[in-house]
Structure 1
Amino acid sequence: MSELNGQIPKFNRTSSKICATPEEELLEAVLNNNTIKIQQLINKNESLISYTYPDYGKRILLIACSEEAVQAKTVEKLLNLRANPRDHTEDDGWEALHWAAQKTDFGTLDVLIRKNSGDINAADQYGSNALQILVRHGKKDSPDFLKCAELLIKKGIDYNHVDNKQKTALQWAERKGVGDDIKNIIENAGNARTQLPQQQMNNNLDNDKIGGRLQQYLLRGDEDSFINSHGGNIREIVDYCGEDGSTLLQTGCSKMLNRAVKHLLDNGADPNLIGSKNSTKPILIAAEHGSSEIMKDLLEKYDKIQNIPKGVLGTILKYIDREYHDNKGCYRVFMDKIKNGDLDEVSLKLNEIDDNNNTPIHFAIRYADQDIIEELLSLGASLGPKNRYGVMPIQDLQPETLEKHLDNCVTFNMKSKKIDKEDFQVKFNYRSLIPPYAKSAHAYEDCEAIDLQGRIEKELVAETEVIFFMSKSSEFKHLLKHPVIVSFLFMKWLRIQWLFWANLAFYVTFALSLVVYIFSDYAYFNPEEKSNIHVIFSKLSFAILVLTLLILVIRELFQISVAPLKYFKNFENYIEIILIVITSMMVLIKSPSDDTRKQLSSLSILLAAFELVLMLGQHPYFSTNVVMLRTVSFNFFKFLIWYSLLIIAFALSFYLLFTTHTQPLTSIELKNDTDSEDNDKSFENPGRSVFKTIIMLTGEFDASDLNFETFPVVSKLIFVLFIFMIAIILLNLLNGLAVSDTQMIKNDAELVGHIARAEHIRYVESMLLGNILPSNIVHKLRGICCCLPRSHNRELKVGKLFAVDACLFPKYLNYELTFYPNKYGLIEPGSKDQKIIKRGCAPCAAIYLDKDTVRRTNNIVHAKRDEANQNGDDHIKKLELELLKLQDKMDGIYHILKSLNNSSVE
């Protein structure tokens, strides 16, 4: 009993992480009596309710019942969220009722008795019940002391119970000086109640015996004996927990006893109750064992979809390919339960994650049939969530299945006869392409008065993860031309194009100020005096250059802090870093030499032009040209580096063959050599020889200046070999390669444009939604200083304000887009609850999809219509055949009856 009288370790923030874990958040919410936060955390992760805190050695309910600051409403909230009041500490066996008695809190004690009145006589390892613990360890000076004792006695606790020291509660009360008070409470309760505790204890013993017998029936699989036991009325013991730590309902589900489970549910068994040692919900046990009848009975006990325990569908799909279990039947029962619900609720249930962050679609793609995969996708299962290993469901999906699903995302009224009319509508469904939204609750004063589902809102996510993966995969790349994907990228570009134009305007300002400053001041070598206009231009350009340079530095630092690995993998960013360094040198170095100025100026102008060209390539209109430049340049240098060994070898050979002086020259020879205009010094050292050889690659040979006289045979042979191997073969090979790459990119110009757009949109999203706090640095700081403030969201998203306008869902579109293919692809504005996407002024605000997208959509619509008509015709033909067969049978019966009639007449 070393932890009595409140001497329990209090909540200390000793974690090494700056961001609180869910367990720490729940503990802090309980200690602060934040019932709204408690409900949010446990709804997201039900396992928190059974987590044992190392500093306390107790689960959260026992902590709530023992801590002074925790109020009764908090304990009641935990009990409503399925906290087990029979949990106990290992060293002394104290349950929640014992801790509340020790704390001497009338409100907490009353809540526990109301919620679990059948266990009021539970004793600890020392044989003490709650009344004895109250008298021995409670606070006798507390105004709640006598109220707690009166409550326990009135509710039927056995005040005659003796502990291991052979003492009753009244005897302990006399030793503590409150014997008369406790005796008066007992006498006031009346003689009619003096025997009630013993009777109730006997009833509890009888219930334990009956419960144990029922448990044995279930373990043996004897359903008839179980159902007929105790006259079929087992309401008082329906939640009995056996010696193995499992409830009757858990045992019935594990043994797949359909009738027994239904009998328990009809008698009021709690479908969410778990045993003291078995923490698996009954419905999860049924899902794992593949019992469809039990699954159906259990699902009927859940009125709302969100109340179904987490992980049921994932468990069903994980074992759906087993031969001797009815997991497919469980799947059908589960889908029948949820498919008619609210789309957002269904999507939330279909995208639940397990301990490895796998969603049901992860298991479906691996183990289930194509029909099940398509059904899950059509109902809102997302292809975007990543599991613990960074794998998205789309990575294991077959391209044919994805293409079929995208076709099914094009929806319209199949029964409509106005397919060629102007008001014919087609909808694109994007729900499966968007990663599932995280949900958070607003703070309300009265949590119980407001439905939880009404208080949740969708948080922003990176919407192009799936499409970006498709753009990088050779298997899925061709599907970027699908109308669903093209329309999505088009609408996303409309949301973020203002960022592109703002960034471009800023960079053009920087580049212009740089050029003007260079030619008006920095590299101005004209000895004449500057005019006033010249001076104004130079000072103004310098001021703008310094300001834009500072903004450019901040922009690059922001990108590095958000995604350092992604930043340094991008070649364009290295150009920006070098440009920033050179421009900073131009601004900060006070008195550079003229040579330094010229070199820095030339490099900065060249790099600024390169960066401007690459930035323009982010626009869809110019993206193909920039892709051509990148592809051809990369392939050219790749082949050139491969053949650089030959080029260097030729250069060294030319140096050895064409160098004119092998011994030191005299002063007269040196003077004559200097005065000679015809002497070629291109090969006088290895470095110049390599440089000259590279120039010769362009066809600039200057063969007349080369000295072939020293080694006439070898020098001419090697020179001719160089012309054929390098100047003719290699250069033509490189030119042919460039032409081939260019032609290939032109042929796939549309696809190249979509890929470039997807990459740019994804990069913008990663910047706007990225966390600016580096997690590894934060963890180290947390380890050094444990008193750092906790971040509620665990993230610092500087660009979140702009991300709201950059994301399509749910602010602008509700997972779908409606347009009119017969009105040149006119897009219908959003609903009244959503902001309308507009472009330009009122006359120009209408948005149209491109002609190719409209044409491909019409092809899908007509193909679906033809398939439906064909299926209808086939169905009619089958009916006609069945009718003909039926008519033949009726004719046969008629002839038989007629012949029988004729024979009877004769």
Structure 2
Amino acid sequence: MDLGKCCFIDPQAQLKTALANQDIRLFIAVLSSGAQIDPGDYDKILSTPGSQDFIEACAAHGGLFNDNSVIHAASSLDPDNLTALLKFRPDNVDFKDRQLTPLNSLAKILTEENASSVLSCMKLLLDYGASPNIPDDREFTPLGYILSKNKVREHKELVQLFLNQPMLDIDSLRYGEVRQLLQVHFPELPLPEERQRTEMDINRLLKTLRGGDEALFEKQFAEYKELAHQKEEYHDMLKESIKLGRQRAIEIILANGIDFKESDFLGRAIYWGNWKALERLLAEPNFCPHAHLQTNEICALIDLSVESSKHQRCFDVLMASKLVDINMPSSGWRTPLCFAGMTGCTLAMQKLLKRGAYIGSRTHPKSLPIEHIPHDVLEEHFNSCITLNNYGPFNQIFEINIDFRNLLLYGAQDGPISEPYNTRHDEMAPIAFMAKSKELRHLLQHPLISSFLILKWRRLSKIFYLNLLLYSLFTVSIVTNTLLRINDSDHSALITLTTVFSYLGIGYLTIRESIQLFLMSGFRYFWSITNMMECFLILMSTCTWLEFNDKETQRVLAAFTILFVSIEFCLLMGSLPVLSISTHMLMLRQVSITFLKSFGLYSIFVLTFSICFHILFPTPPVQDNVDPLKEGKEEFDFAKPIVALTKTIAMMTGELNAGDLEFTSISSYLIFLFFVLFMTIVLVNLLNGLAVSDTQTIRAQAELNAAIVRTNVLCRYELNETDYVIDELLKSNYRILRIVGQMLRNIVPRYQIPRQVSIFPNMDNSDSGNDMAEVLMANVIHLRNGGTTGRFKSKRGRRRKWCPSP
């Protein structure tokens, strides 16, 4: 061949062509021209029978054979290939690839058809110094594999080949199994002298585990245990067993006892998706997973379980275990439910909620799990918390079961709160978030939430009504006392009586706000406008008893005091769980907010017109007949900017008093006319329309708004945590405080909402009737028929009997 004519061809392509066509002359010519063989082509040449010439050519041209070249040459089952390679690379005859030496790989692929080729290759390897005693990961030596294939024709010849090796060891591995097989199948052959077995160590056990021979591991472990090794050495074996999925080995190790304190067996089982090992570990009596660790692993599983069925099974195992506390925050201060919500894993959220995950756990940065849960997932789960018995709704023993497992904080054992988070927590926080969220507030009418609110109200209603009574007495006393003193009344006895009650009321308010500030809320106290107004009220009420030289100051203080007292009283009355009262107070609040928002923008026009009137009407018209009583009083006109602004606002209501204005030009008429049309007609009617719209919306959702009001009241009282305050008073070193605490405890006994409640709505019980059944009966039937929580109804009927479930 004329190589000059093919010089344009890629040398690498020529090499591949020569190999494919087995053209040794072209192959040598291309190598001589400087072409380099790819590593993959080396392996292909070595494993292809009849390639000894190519191997020699590669070696002659500086071919770089790698460490596993001998194994590739042996896999060709061509003694000539192996001979050609060993001439240049006589070393690495014992190099392991996938735990197999060349001898092991040949013994493992031994069949009736290739027995003669295997025999020839083995002779070559042994002649070049290959060891006959190196086992694989199952402790099988080459002779062990040969003995397991006793139907091969050259079987005895192969056995004899190994028995001729002077360093052959047939006793150290697998408890002398090779010697036993030789004695059974070849009793006529002389065997090497019996050797003493080497002492069992951890490395041999780990090697057996990796090989997968668990029966051998059981024997070796029994021997290893008798050598009195420390049980801490079992950790590596258990970790390896978990990783490799050796369930029998796990049972063997656990049956012999192990210390679980310092090792992360649970995390390894979860990481490798070994749900069987995870289930077995959690069933171990001495196993108690570290709380933060288990929460971290649950959070990790939420990510892994999305694409892996094994990890989904691990997640199910953790959810079924009573040892796992799903409400414990992780090291990053996130509960598993919060993490599932943040990652959007709906399946994990559903399983965690079903397991009883608490939706009110505070996480960092102070967020709630409920904030990350879609409303449809939450509503579907709330529906599952309401169960009915098999009797019809009009049967006498018809029963409604309500499960509050997600609204109350329980420990891992479904009992009292576990120690790591046995601190004060706000059970109303998630419900308060529902009330604020437009997407979730309709759930306040769900039977589960409405029942919970009713139970909360039964607990705190006495405190609420006591506070309302005391404040009502204070309001009547201070208003009466202020009016009597301002008007210099002669009813001294009444003044004295109202003064005493006013002082008692101020003292009560001071103690109440001090408890909120110092014992409960801390700096959060100052975030509430209501709290700040109450502090200002205490200050103003105290100042009304101070004597001022200026009577006007005294009157102003008295007026502001009565104003703030009345506002506080209205807010307190608006918190009553009466539908009509709460609805009207909510309308007042919403209309006020809407007006302030709208008027904040429109105030630009008010300010503009007040400046225009101040410029156009700087002085009032001169009047001939002036009333002597009004002489010396300040006129209510546009002469001063502040007075002009006030009068402009008053004119918006319709009090124009156009006859008192002195129009000097046509421009003043036009500006005044524009004010009348734009401000008193358009703007005022616009504000009225917004108010009407708000009131209609509130009336259409009266029951929902009542639930929101009740939620806000309960949140405020729950935040102050009455039980905690009473407990602190009872522990006080001062007798008077202990007496007060005992009195409060008699009024508000300790009450814990049961986790489950059973209601029998068709059983009369007028003595202990419950509002809960009155509301739930229609709602539960509506829900059972496939209705949604957006259309819950109330039902007023007989009082119903209810009882906590055991």
TM-score class normalised by the smaller sequence? 0.5 to 0.7
Give the Cα separation in 2 of the matches to 1:254 and 1:239.
22
CA offset digits 1:650-699 (Å, max 9, x no partner): 0111011112389xxxxxx999999999x976111212211111110110
Residue 723 of structure 1 corresponds to: 676
The question of 1:409 aligning with 2:385 is answered: yes
Within 5 Å, which residues of 2 pair with 1:647-796? 647-660=606-619, 682-709=637-664, 712-768=665-721
Aligned to 1:400: 376
1:500-519 pair list within 5 angstroms: 500-519=464-483
Letter in 2 for 1:486: S
- More moved, 555-564 vs 425-434: 555-564
Say whether residues 1:432 and 2:391 are aligned partners.
no
Aligned to 1:210: 201
2-structure distance, mates of 1:296, 1:439? 17
Checking the alignment, whether the CA contact within 8 Å between 1:517 and 1:541 is kept in structure 2 is: yes
Structure 1 contact 462–769 (Cα < 8 Å) conserved: no
> Residue in 1 aligned with 2:193?
none
Contact 2:388 2:400 in 1 (8 A): yes
Count of aligned pairs between the two proteins: 569
Partner of residue 776, structure 2: 853
Q: Kindly tell me: are residues 256 and 555 of structure 1, through their superposed partners in 2, closer, same or farther at Cα, counting changes over 3 Å?
A: same
Q: Does 1:290 align with 2:273?
A: yes
Structure 1 residue 229, shift from structure 2 partner: 6.3
Percent identical among aligned pairs is 26
How far residue 480 of structure 1 moved from its aligned partner, in angstroms, is: 0.9
Residue equivalent to 1:525? 488
Per the TM alignment, residue 859 of structure 1 is displaced from its structure 2 partner at its CA by 2.0
Match of 2:756 among 800, 810, 816: 816
Deviations 1:187-241 (A, max 9, x none): xxxxxxxxxxxxxxxxxxx97x7124434555x5665597166375433567555
CA distance in 2, matches of 1:456, 1:324: 32
Deviation at 1:640, TM superposition (A): 1.4
Is the alpha carbon distance of 1:262 and 1:617 closer, same or farther for their aligned partners in structure 2, counting shifts above 3 Å?
Answer: same
**1:270 and 2:228 aligned:** no
**C-alpha contact 1:265 1:271 (8 A) present in aligned 2:** no
Q: CA deviation at 1:729?
A: 0.9
Q: SS of the counterpart of 1:427?
A: strand
C-alpha contact (below 8 Å) 1:317/1:363 kept by paired residues: yes
Query: What TM-score comes out, normalization by structure 2 length?
Result: 0.63
DSSP 3-state at the match of 2:771: coil
Change (3 A) 1:807 1:407: farther
In structure 1, give the amino acid aligned to 2:584.
N
Identify if the C-alpha distance between structure 1 residues 602 and 324 changes in structure 2 by more than 3 Å, giving closer, same or farther: closer
Contact 1:617–1:626 (8 Å) recurs in 2: yes
Looking at structure 2, the residues matched to 459 and 241 of structure 1 have their Cα atoms a distance apart, in angstroms, of 37
Do structure 1's residue 315 and structure 2's residue 297 form an aligned pair? yes
- Structure 2: unaligned runs, 5 residues or longer: 1-197, 726-737, 788-806
Distance (whole Å) between structure 2 residues aligned to residue 227 and residue 366 of structure 1: 45
Relative contact order higher in (CA < 8 Å, ≥ 6 apart): 1
What is the rounded CA distance, in whole Å, between the counterparts of 1:740 and 1:487 in structure 2? 31
2: distance between equivalents of 1:586 and 1:433?
A: 46
Letter paired with 1:757: R
Q: Counterpart in 1 of 2:456?
A: 492
Structure 2 CA distance for partners of 1:269 and 1:363, relative to 1, 3 Å: farther
Q: Does residue 423 of structure 1 match 2:381?
A: no
TM superposition shift of 1:246: 5.7
Q: Cα offset for 1:296?
A: 3.0
SS for the counterpart of 1:817 is: strand
Equivalent residue number for residue 582 of structure 2? 623
- Counterparts in 2 of 1:478 and 1:238: CA distance versus 1, 3 Å: farther
Q: Aligned partner of 1:643: which letter?
A: Y
Shift of 1:392: 2.3
Provide the alpha-carbon RMSD of the alignment.
4.0
Secondary structure in structure 1 of the residue aligned to 2:759 = strand
Alignment deviations for residues 849-880 of structure 1 (CA, whole Å, 9 cap, x no partner)? 3644320112233459xxxxxxxxxxxxxxxx
User: Taking structure 1 as the reference length, what is the TM-score of the superposition?
Assistant: 0.57
Map 1:887-898; keep pairs closer than 5 Å: none
> Within 1, Cα distance between the matches of 2:538 and 2:213?
80
Deviation at 1:516, TM superposition (A): 2.3
Q: Which residue of structure 2 lines up, in the alignment, with residue 253 of structure 1?
A: 242
Aligned-partner SS, 1:555: helix
Opposite residue 688 of structure 1, the aligned amino acid is V
User: 1:804 and 1:475 mapped to 2: Cα distance?
Assistant: 40
Q: 1:272 to 1:367 in 2, by over 3 A?
A: farther
State the alpha-carbon separation in 2 of the partners of residues 606 and 438 from structure 1: 52
For the pair 1:585 / 2:548, whether they are aligned, the reply is no
Distance 1:631 1:271 in 2: 63
Give distance in 2, aligned partners of 1:862 and 1:804: 44
Q: 1:225 to 1:800 in 2, by over 3 A?
A: farther
Is the alpha carbon distance of 1:224 and 1:541 closer, same or farther for their aligned partners in structure 2, counting shifts above 3 Å?
A: closer
The answer as to whether partners of 1:254 and 1:289 remain within 8 angstroms in 2 is yes
* CA gap 1:645/1:546 in 2 versus in 1, 3 angstroms: same
Q: CA deviation at 1:485?
A: 0.8
Identify the residue that residue 49 of structure 1 maps to in structure 2. none
Q: Deviations over 1:517-548 (max 9, x none)?
A: 2233x21336xxx3xxx211111221221222
1:637 is matched with: 596
Which residue number corresponds to residue 49 of structure 2? none
Please say if residues 486 and 555 of structure 2, whose CA atoms lie closer than 8 Å, have aligned partners that are also in contact: yes
1:93-104 alignment runs, 5 A limit: none
- In structure 1, the residue matched to 2:180 is none
- Post-superposition offset of 1:273: 5.0
Q: Is the 8 A contact 2:299 2:339 kept in 1?
A: yes
Q: CA deviation at 1:297?
A: 3.0
Which residue identity does 1:625 align to in structure 2?
A: H
SS of structure 2 residue aligned to 1:462 = coil
Residues 682 and 692, structure 1, Cα contact 8 Å, conserved in 2: yes
Larger radius of gyration: 2
Selected match of 1:571 from 529, 548, 553: 529
Deviation at 1:483, TM superposition (A): 0.9
Query: Aligned to 2:721, what secondary structure does the other structure show?
Result: helix
Once the two structures are overlaid, the 10-residue window that deviates more, 568-577 or 311-320, is 311-320
Pick closer, same or farther for the CA change 1:369–1:303 going to 2, 3 Å: farther
Shifted more, 848-857 versus 491-500: the winner is 848-857
Aligned AA (1:249): L
Residues 86-141 of structure 1: CA deviation (Å, up to 9, x unaligned): xxxxxxxxxxxxxxxxxxxxxxxxxxxxxxxxxxxxxxxxxxxxxxxxxxxxxxxx
Q: Distance in 1 between matches of 2:718 and 2:593?
A: 27
CA contact (8 A) 1:292 1:327 kept: yes
5 Å matches for 1:166-205? none
Label 1:438 to 1:409 Cα distance change in 2 as closer, same or farther (>3 A): closer
SS in 2 for 1:234: helix
Could you say which residue in structure 2 is the equivalent of 1:391? 367
Task: State the alpha-carbon separation in 2 of the partners of residues 385 and 457 from structure 1.
Answer: 10
1:637: Cα distance to partner?
1.7
- Matching residue's letter, 2:238: L
- Is the 1:299–1:308 contact (alpha carbons within 8 Å) kept by the matching residues of 2? no
Q: Give the drift of 1:555.
A: 1.5
**Contact 1:628–1:741 (CA under 8 A) maintained in structure 2:** yes
Q: Note if contact 1:434-1:466 (Cα within 8 Å) is conserved in structure 2.
A: no
1:632/1:741 contact within 8 Å kept: yes
Matched, 1:355 2:312: no
The correspondence for 1:597, drawn from 554, 560, 583, is 554
Q: 1-side partners of 2:524 and 2:588: how far apart?
A: 22
Measured after TM superposition, the shift of residue 325 of structure 1 is 6.5
